[in-house]
Each structure stands twice: as structure tokens, then as C-alpha cells.
Amino acid sequence: MRCEHFYNRLVRILDARARAEELKDLNLFITMTDEDGDGEVVAVKDLVDVRGTPTTGGGRLLPTEPKSEDAPLIRNLRSRGCVMIGKTNLHEWAFGSTNINRHYGTVHNPRDRSRVAGGSSGGSAAAVAAGACDWAIGSDTGGSIRIPAALCGIVGFKPTFGTIDTRGVVPLSYSLDTIGSLAPDVATATRAVAMMAAIDGWESMEPIAAGRLRLAVPAGWVHGLDAQVAKAWDAVSEGLPEVELPSLDAMQKACLDIMLSEAAAFHRHWMETRPDAYAPDVLARLRTGLSITGSDYVQALADQERMRQEVARAMRGLDAILLPSTASVAPLIAAEVDTSPLVCFTRPFNLTGQPVFSLPAPVDGLPAGIQVIGHVGRDIELAAVAAGLERAWSTG
């Protein structure tokens, strides 16, 4: 029986590799490994150190030598038998929402190859959607797990800030960076985070019946949805009460002031010495961070703490808040893409550090995602909520 199990797992690894090769034109991976084993097949966003492979960050500035050591989160996965199939493509330096990458190619959306996969964890999301792995690792600083999950029609899980060790991960913003998972379903996404964080006991998570859930939506936040996302939002939000949260614009500004300032600090030397190595959109975004003053940054940190407390008070008595993951479906691949509909609803919950799932909405046609936002540190409770909604939406 044990030999049969190993054989079946090995066949799945070979099938995943064959699938990745078959879909090479989607630009899912930057580097493939030759690992084998009998555990879950995991695709790794190419910000995370995996021994035997270089870490590119989606750019051309890091050393090209293979890493000699795994990041701690990868060591945790290996201790549970997981196999790293390869390093996935991403928006350069995890600083964009389309995954149009001039160095490694644009990641195409498996649901419609003429459209973007979303970013910055687009290669990870597309690899899951295309069946090239069991699940994938992503990072989320302003929506980089939830956006591609929504556009590719899969589950994305950004756990509470700090749940997973970020050592051995190329940073974007130390105060906001969060490692999480992209997966076909809530149970797999939850198990993936537990393995990366070396947490036991999450396997016994049981869905909460949707009819028992105490849900709400943010008052005055939801606007500018395209027809497909509006249809999805109407289907899941009808009859839910509204809750007063801090201003969406104010939360976005505080998040951006922190993110841009910290990203510019990390990249400052390269921006000065090797500006041509950056894609124009990424370089422009990084240079914006140089204009944020020290007092702006300190104020943003103060606003962050205040807003965390305000959101926690507003959510008392609730299991979760629902919100669209993006305001539009995946845009067509083009020289210029309007990304504002992709990032408008995700950044506030990087600011607060809350756990969030993005679930596929119950609609036909191009995928749309719904965020399920929980309480800080209560990730397994949120997983039970998300699993209950997943079940209800898949059968309703």
C-alpha cells in the first residue's frame, strides 16, 4: 500500500511537470527543479529562497548563483514531505498587479489567455489554475495573492501578518509583507499556510454553515464595479448589514505611504546605480517612494495602529466582512493596463494585518473574487467561515 501511495504521488509530480512543459507559453515558471518525492507538489513564488535554484525577484539585479539554503518556510514544507516543482513568475520585485514582466514574459491567464493573470503572484495563481501544482506560495503586500486568485478563479489566503517567517524572502515592505497560499480550495489553502508556519491542528477545520454566519459589508466602500463583478457582488451581499470602517481612501493612503517608503529604501542603491535594469512602471513606482517624507512615514505608522483598532471595534460580534477582491475581471493584456480596479479593495487589510481569503464568486463566465476578512490572529476560525461560504456558493 505504501509503495502504491509513493507511486501515485510520483505520477502526480511527473504529471505536474508535463503540464508545466505543455503550458510553457503561459510563462508560469522562471526556474524548474528536478526534485521528487511523495509529498504535495508546490510551486514557489520566485521571491523565496529554494536551495539549488537562484532567486530572481522577477528582476535582473540579484546574484544568479543557486541558493545553498532554503528559506525557513521551505524547510518547514520539506519536513512535511512537500516537493518544490519550480519558481513561479511574478510582477518584477512583487511591485505590480498585472504580472506583465519584461524579463521573463507576461503570465497569461489560464481562464482566458488574452488576459492578465494578475499580480504580483500571477505565476503562482496561474500554475494552480492550470493544474501545474497542488498549490502555490505567494506573497501579499497590497493584494498580491488576492488579486491573481480572483482573476484566475482560485482560492487565495493571506494569513495574519507575521504568521509565516519571511526570512529568506526578497522584501517589498517589511511592515506589510505577508506570505500565503494559492490553491484550488479553502481546505488546501489552509493546510498550506499551516505547513509553511509549522502550525499543527488546522487539518481538523470544519466548515461553518453559511446560515449561521454573522457577516457584514463596509458601508460606502463598494463602487465602480464592472458588470461581471457587480453580478457576483449582488449575489453574495444581498441583505447583509453594513458596518462603518475608516475611510477607504485614508486606509489606502496609509498603506501606500508605508509600502512605497520601505520599497524605495530597499531599492535606493540599485535605482541610483542601475536604473535601466528596472521596467519603467516599476522604476516609476519606486521613485514615487522617494518623495515620501519621514514625517509622512511616521504619520502612516500612527494611522495604521489607529485604523487597526477602529476596524477591530467595528467587527465585534461579526465572523467576517465581505468585499470584492477586485472591481473588475482580468483585463486584456495590453501595453498599458488600468490597474486601479485591481488594487482598490485589497490594501486596507495589509495595513491592518488581518487574515483574508479570496474566494471564487458563484458566477459563470470570467472569474470574480470575493474577500472574506477575519479577525487578527483568528485565522483558523476564518478558514471555517470561508469553507462554509465556499460550500454554499458551490451548491447554491
Q: Collect all residues with Cβ–Cβ distance below 8 Å to 223 and sequence separation of at least 6.
A: none
Q: Could you tell me which residue, 4 or 189, shows the higher pLDDT?
A: 189
- Where does the pLDDT of residue 11 fall: very low under 50, low under 70, confident under 90, or very high at 90 and above? low
Q: Which residue has the cell 530572481?
A: 56
Half-sphere exposure of 150 (CA within 13 A, CB side): 37
The residues that are catalytic are 45, 120, 144
b/e map of 192-217 (b: 16 or more CB within 10 Å)? Answer: bbbbbbebeebeebebbebeebebbb
User: pLDDT for 113-151, tens place per residue?
Assistant: 999 999 999 999 999 999 999 999 999 999 999 999 999
Amino acid at 361: A
CB-based contact 89:108 (threshold 8 Å): no
Count of structural domains, the chain: 1
CB-based contact 383:366 (threshold 8 Å): no
Q: What is the pLDDT of residue 110?
A: 98
What's the angle, vertex CA 61, arms to CA 84 and CA 159, rounded to 5?
45
Cis? peptide before 120, omega within 30° of 0: yes
Nearest to 178 by CA among 194, 162, 190: 162
- Where does the pLDDT of residue 37 fall: very low under 50, low under 70, confident under 90, or very high at 90 and above? confident
- Where does the pLDDT of residue 84 fall: very low under 50, low under 70, confident under 90, or very high at 90 and above? very high
Q: What is the pLDDT of residue 181?
A: 98
Q: What is the pLDDT of residue 235?
A: 96
359 forms beta bridges with 370
Nearest to 378 by CA among 332, 316, 307: 316
What mean pLDDT is reported for the chain? 95
Tell whether pTM > 0.85. Answer: yes
Q: What is the pLDDT of residue 7?
A: 46
Q: What is the pLDDT of residue 14?
A: 82
Handedness of CA 219, 223, 227, 229 (dihedral sign): negative
User: pLDDT for 277-307, tens place per residue?
Assistant: 999 999 999 999 999 999 999 999 999 999 9
Q: What is the pLDDT of residue 38?
A: 84
> Looking at the chain, how many residues does it have?
396
Q: Collect all residues with Cβ–Cβ distance below 8 Å to 23 and sequence separation of at least 6.
A: 110, 130, 132
- Where does the pLDDT of residue 9 fall: very low under 50, low under 70, confident under 90, or very high at 90 and above? low
- Calculate mean pLDDT across residues 207-212: 95
Q: Is the pLDDT of residue 58 over 50?
A: yes
Percent of the chain with pLDDT over 90: 93
User: pLDDT for 327-379, tens place per residue?
Assistant: 999 999 998 999 999 999 999 999 999 999 999 999 999 999 999 999 999 99
| Structural domain boundaries, residue 204 | 1-396
Q: What is the pLDDT of residue 16?
A: 87
The CATH number of the domain where 142 resides is what?
Answer: 3.90.1300.10
Q: Is the pLDDT of residue 5 over 70?
A: no
Pairing state between β 356-360 and 155-158 = antiparallel
Q: What is the pLDDT of residue 203?
A: 83
Q: Could you tell me which residue, 311 or 10, shows the higher pLDDT?
A: 311
**Per-residue H/E/C for the chain:** CHHHHHHHHHHHHHHHHHHHHHCHHHCCEEEECCCCCCCCEEEEECCECCECCCCCCCCCCCCCCCECCCCHHHHHHHHCCCEEEEEECCCHHHCCCCCCCCCCCCCEECCEEEEECCCCCHHHHHHHHHCCCCEEEEEECCCCCHHHHHHHCCEEEECCCCCCCCCCECCCCCCCCEEEEEECCHHHHHHHHHHHHCCCCHHHCCCCCHHHCCEEEECCCCCCCCHHHHHHHHHHHCCCCEECCCCHHHHHHHHHHHHHHHHHHHHHHHHHHCHHHCCHHHHHHHHHHHCCCHHHHHHHHHHHHHHHHHHHHHCCCCCEEEEECCCCCCCECCCCCCCHHHHCCCCHHHHCCCCEEEEECCCCCCCCEEEEECCCCCHHHHHHHHHHHHHHHHHC
b/e map of 74-102 (b: 16 or more CB within 10 Å)? Answer: bebbbeeebbbbbbbbbbbbbbbbbbbbe
Q: What is the pLDDT of residue 12?
A: 76
